[in-house]
Amino acid sequence: MMPLAAWLAGYIRDVPDHPYPGVLFKDYASLLADPRAFTALVDALADVCRRREATMVVGLEARGFLLGAPVAVRSGLGLAVIRKGGKLPGKTFRRVYELEYGKDEFELQCDALGPKDRVVVVDDVLATGGTALAAASLVAEAGADVVGVAFMLELVALSGRRRLARDLDGVPVDAVINA
């Protein structure tokens, strides 16, 4: 039987120069379209949440929502969402962060998490780590503990794991697939 990571990696295709020249986009639409593959991915990420004894999942806009919501359901946990700037009502914490090809802004509602929450941040791809660091910073500002960050896919050559290990003080980093 093929290992899970290798099987799931077979569903991901490379799209050169998307969304910008020089970027190699990892298209995983066919993975989401296959119920067996999608379920296996969600189960693997939910297992991370159980191992980390999480009480909440945080999903990141936009593609992290595709994974964060089913992972929260499968884990029996609540879901808090981190959205792009200006999209959440009420009082929010804000963080500007660096992308591989620019800057963006995240927000988290101030009452979305509390000091008793143990959070696993779930996103689709770990590239340079800037998105995950911004999310972890917002979770900490809300008073919760980040007990893990989990990804469908890690782009190993971009060294995001090394950056997260350095800047998140040993918070475990999990990726189902490495490329």
Q: Which residues have a catalytic role annotated?
A: 63, 100
Are 66 and 27 contacting, i.e. CB atoms less than 8 angstroms apart?
Answer: no
Q: Where are the alpha helices (DSSP H) in the chain?
A: 4-9, 29-33, 35-51, 63-75, 130-141, 160-167
Which stretches of 50-144 are assigned E, i.e. beta strand?
Answer: 56-60, 78-84, 92-99, 102-109, 118-126
Q: In which element (H, E) is residue 175 found?
A: strand 173-178
Q: Which of 17, 16, 44, 15 is nearest to 29 (CA)?
A: 15
Per the listing, tokens 């918070």 go with: 171
Q: Six-digit token pair at 121?
A: 């941040």
CA distances (Å), origin 75, targets 31, 44, 47, 98: 20, 10, 8, 30
